[in-house]
Structure 1
Amino acid sequence: MPAPCALSLALGLWGVRRQGSMWRDEVVTYDMAHRSLPELWDTLQNVDAVHGFYYLFMHALFDVVGGGVLTLRLPSVLAMTAAAAGVALLGARVAGERAGVAAGLVFPLLPLVQQYAQEGRSYALVCALVTWSTYFLVRALAASPAAVDAPRLGLFGVPGAARRWWTAYVLVTFVACLLHEFAVLVLVAHGTTVVLSGVRGAVRGAVRRTWLVAAGVVIAGLAPMALFSAGQSAQLGWVLWPDPVQLVTFGVLAVVGVVCARVPVRTRGPAHGPVRLRPLALPLLIAPPATLLLLSQLKPMYVDRYVLYYVVGFALLMGAALDRVFRPLGGDGGRARRRRAVGALVAVLAALLPAAVYLRTPESRKDDATAVVRAVRAVAEPGDGLLFMPARRRVWTLSEPERFRDLTDLALSRAPDSSGTLYGTEVPADGIRARMLATERIVVLSDPRGEPEDENSREVTKRTTLRDAFTPCRTQDVTGARVTVYAHRGHCDD
């Protein structure tokens, strides 16, 4: 499927450097991948174990080709290109070759796909692996009934001809879950597809049992890491409730996907197997996000990128609908409908263009660590104190630590790499206050105005000491951050 791959690769490489900016999550990847293996291992014992295999992968990549913004994001670009190919092949098997090409072209045009195709995080890789594990599942379901009369049975009673597809399905799904544990939610969608598939006769029970065993193998393999990382669940404390924009995005895609599912599509022949479009695409679109939303009733954890692969289901349904709409029809009525459809398609593409341009700017992400560094260097003087409010905003400096060597981190006890943490450890509150009072000028890096404030003793001490003993001299707001210079009362520069 060269067209979907070419489009996805072109969109992925377009503006991939984003003017050299990195937002906080990418800075974490950059920093973790540059730590030594012992330092990385020590950190994963304390935090971010859920991303451990991704960090190891990026560590190896940086060792081979060097670390930079392009290297940081290129795996995501290539992963989304592979995902587009997988979407096209899936569409071809369940709805026809034209529908497959259309689905493969829809997929890279989605703003969510474009966003995570250019981020140095694991989500694009997980999306690609889930796409291909879904393809292997479809092939396994297709091979099983076709080989029902085979004299030799393979894995767990499934005909031997299907064995390689089931094996590939288990391996790829398991790797996806290792890169991010919430990939396991795709099993909810896959289980629904297996139950609704057209497998009939004597092999149906064997196929369902085999899928249950395959899912069990994935879950059992993932269990040790899931149990260990559960002890680090406090990391999700920043997720207070599903973001309204993310909820609306999922809702719109789900509604449009259901509408597209009502458009009649060509029925595939027996050679393409028992899986049809709707039993494959609708569960993939709806089940993972809906399951995560249900789990969020117990503990808030819904973030759309954790189940990014749900957009594959949408692309499949949209591609099949477009194939039906643009299929040649005779008569004036058919030509008029095609003209209206072309006009609607052009309008949608025109509406997507501003979003695509915006996603390639530094302002499109939650913050911009590169801009923060520039802002600090513009106002700081050698010997100034440096203060992070809250402490986790120390992440903004981790991509360029050498730029801060002439400043004194007033709260730092141990650096992130040596302490086995993401953001370092800080001295007790009394020590922070003493250091602050002994410093003439302090450059404070904080969240923008209006963000919730941490209420632990260290953060309260930072705020009260600044309020009681210092005066803000100048403030600069940058994307997702605020840089303020404080001085002792009466000592601000003119």
Structure 2
Amino acid sequence: MWQDELATWASASRSTRDLLGMLHNVDAVHGTYYLLIHEWIRVFGDSLTSMRMPGVLAVTGAAVCVALTGQRLFGPRSGLTAGLLFAVVPAVSRYAQEVRSYALVAGAVAAATLFLFRSLERPTWPRWLGYACCLTAAGAFHLASLTFLSGHAAVVLLRWRDGRDGRLPLRWLVSVTASAASLLPLVLIGQRQLHRQLGWIERPTFAKTWRMWPELFYSAPVSLVLLVLALLPLLQRRRRPAVEAALLTVLPLVVLWVVSHGEISYWLNRYLFFTVPAWAVLAGAGAAALRPRLLTVGALVLVTALGVPDQRFVRQADSHSWYSYPMAVPYGGSPSTPDFMGAGDVIAQGQRPGDGIVYSRGPWFDHYLDAGVRYALPRSLDMRDVFLAESAAHRRDLWTLECSNSAECLGDEPRLWVVTLGSVPERTDRRLDGPDIKLIKPEIDALNQAYEVERIVQLRDVTVTLMVRR
């Protein structure tokens, strides 16, 4: 797991009371997903396979909705092709195997789009109720996804212009209003937390706008082929379904781009992933329209083959930290994930009763090093977190509180496991020191005064140092 997944695990593993208390202060927009995973863990456990299964099920459902939407707009052949194209997009694999809400958001949006076209075909209230439920689910999992309503509104207006049935926009507005009313408390709480959560995202410049396209699909060649296929239906005589599908793909991106030039930016590929199902519908129609029909199969094979290197990448152990793949990681971030599991194995195999543990936190708290190693350690292993003053759960926050006086926080532990980001150099004086050690200076000074280095184990982007009493 990378740091965002560790945030999910650390939050969802709390008691319901502690989790709700945290959501009142931070991360309310992910609260529905945290509560879902909280209950999921209670029933199915917190193994990686278990926690990632909701995302797998969500994109499976999204593929079904993509196929059925494509069938309604363009016919069975196009629907099948769209579903298959969606399934082989590398970004779909990436978000399916992540303990975050983005796969569920895409599934809810894809289901809402299917319910919209079902309701437009036969506008019964049960169908509009299903549509409203999908809207609520999408917003509850991530409020930014509700920008897809811009495309839905355009489709409803086009259909109303054809039939002039005033009940059509009225029923759509009733469904949207009911969904918005149910989400209002989440909107109000999330509004208070916006700057803390999203203040780090920069506004989309010209360069950031265009680099989003390969990031959206997690593959430069796949994104280009899908773009070409998506343009083909717009060149055909029967353009109306293609125009509706194009509105579903383009308008949410435009709205988010415009909004991102305001006070808060939302221009991140994971926030835009919910548009990929609509792109698959349009590209599926383009591939199915190729003649002779063997070219449709060729298009599927081409997209699959071009995505193989990217599919292999997203299955690597440390791939998730490179969230802007295949483009460079912005904001000076690292494209790799620390070897939390390896660090946990080293400690579990060498620990003795009475040992304590020290984690890199300080300015590097958002790497969730403590959560990553805790997840890797046996649950029965109880070591005192030496420099911990107050846990994140007790603070009702995502982050812990460190001791203000490091020397006073040292106890009588005979040995300490010091887990730090980066590398720790070997020294003849057996002191913990070096320019790359990710510990604050008071902690380093306190450790060196009372302990000396006995063993150093260098792992990927993380170091485990065993220190013993002098």
Q: Give the Å deviation of 1:317.
A: 1.4
Q: Does 1:249 align with 2:224?
A: no
Query: CA offsets, 1:13-50, max 9 Å, x none?
Result: xxxxxxxxx22222332333332222222222222211
In the alignment, which of 251, 254, 268 is matched to residue 287 of structure 1? 251
Q: Does 1:426 align with 2:402?
A: yes
Query: CA offsets, 1:146-165, max 9 Å, x none?
Result: xxxxxxxxxxxxxxx53222
Tell me which residue corresponds to 2:418: 443
Letter of the aligned partner of 2:243 in structure 1?
Answer: P
Q: Does 1:476 align with 2:458?
A: yes
Q: Give the Å deviation of 1:276.
A: 4.1
Query: CA offsets, 1:367-424, max 9 Å, x none?
Result: 2532342355578776354032323423323424656956442321122333322332
Tell me which residue corresponds to 1:322: 287
Aligned-residue identity in percent: 29
Q: 1:170 to 1:432 in 2, by over 3 A?
A: same
Tell me which residue corresponds to 1:5: none
Query: CA offsets, 1:91-141, max 9 Å, x none?
Result: 001011100000010001001111111112221111111111111111222
Letter of the aligned partner of 1:476 in structure 2?
Answer: Q
Q: TM-score, normalised by structure 2?
A: 0.77
Matches within 5 A, 1:390-469: 390-392=364-366, 393=368, 394-400=370-376, 402=378, 405=381, 407-428=383-404, 431-432=405-406, 434-435=408-409, 443-446=418-421, 462-463=440-441, 466=444
- What is the rounded CA distance, in whole Å, between the counterparts of 1:447 and 1:425 in structure 2? 22
Query: CA offsets, 1:31-79, max 9 Å, x none?
Result: 3333222222222222221121222222222333333222211111111
Q: 1:343 to 1:38 in 2, by over 3 A?
A: closer
Q: Does 1:79 align with 2:58?
A: yes
Q: 1:228 to 1:427 in 2, by over 3 A?
A: same
Q: 1:26 touches 1:120 (CA, 8 Å); kept in 2? A: yes
Q: Give the Å deviation of 1:282.
A: 1.8
- What is the rounded CA distance, in whole Å, between the counterparts of 2:199 and 2:71 in structure 1? 42
In the alignment, which of 298, 306, 311 is matched to residue 356 of structure 1? 311
Q: 1:27 touches 1:369 (CA, 8 Å); kept in 2? A: no
- What is the rounded CA distance, in whole Å, between the counterparts of 2:13 and 2:158 in structure 1? 46
Q: Does 1:42 align with 2:16?
A: no
Q: Give the Å deviation of 1:304.
A: 1.6
Q: Give the Å deviation of 1:353.
A: 1.7
Matches within 5 A, 1:12-31: 22-31=1-10
In the alignment, which of 155, 169, 174 is matched to residue 131 of structure 2? 169
Matches within 5 A, 1:4-403: 22-143=1-122, 161-197=123-159, 199-203=161-165, 205-233=166-194, 234-240=196-202, 246=212, 248-250=214-216, 259-264=228-233, 276-297=240-261, 298-328=263-293, 338=294, 345-366=300-321, 367=337, 368-374=339-345, 377=348, 383-389=355-361, 390-392=364-366, 393=368, 394-400=370-376, 402=378
Q: 2:344 touches 2:374 (CA, 8 Å); kept in 1? A: no
Letter of the aligned partner of 1:352 in structure 2?
Answer: G
Q: Which deviates more from structure 2 when the two are superposed, residues 258-267 or residues 70-79?
A: 258-267
Letter of the aligned partner of 1:323 in structure 2?
Answer: A
- What is the rounded CA distance, in whole Å, between the counterparts of 1:436 and 1:306 in structure 2? 43
Q: Which deviates more from structure 2 when the two are superposed, residues 283-292 or residues 222-231?
A: 283-292
- What is the rounded CA distance, in whole Å, between the counterparts of 1:423 and 1:207 in structure 2? 48
Tell me which residue corresponds to 1:148: none
Letter of the aligned partner of 1:305 in structure 2?
Answer: R
Q: TM-score, normalised by structure 1?
A: 0.74
- Secondary structure of the 1:413 match is strand
Q: 1:437 touches 1:469 (CA, 8 Å); kept in 2? A: no
- What is the rounded CA distance, in whole Å, between the counterparts of 1:404 and 1:485 in structure 2? 22
CA RMSD in angstroms comes to: 3.6
Q: 1:39 to 1:468 in 2, by over 3 A?
A: closer
- What is the rounded CA distance, in whole Å, between the counterparts of 1:486 and 1:62 in structure 2? 33
- Secondary structure of the 2:232 match is coil
List runs of 5+ in structure 2 lacking aligned partners. Answer: 322-336, 425-436
- What is the rounded CA distance, in whole Å, between the counterparts of 1:483 and 1:378 in structure 2? 15
- Secondary structure of the 2:420 match is strand
- What is the rounded CA distance, in whole Å, between the counterparts of 1:371 and 1:215 in structure 2? 48
- What is the rounded CA distance, in whole Å, between the counterparts of 1:468 and 1:137 in structure 2? 63
- What is the rounded CA distance, in whole Å, between the counterparts of 1:437 and 1:41 in structure 2? 33
Q: 2:214 touches 2:223 (CA, 8 Å); kept in 1? A: no
Aligned length: 422
Q: Which deviates more from structure 2 when the two are superposed, residues 186-195 or residues 100-109?
A: 186-195
Q: 1:281 touches 1:313 (CA, 8 Å); kept in 2? A: yes
- What is the rounded CA distance, in whole Å, between the counterparts of 2:240 and 2:441 in structure 1? 60
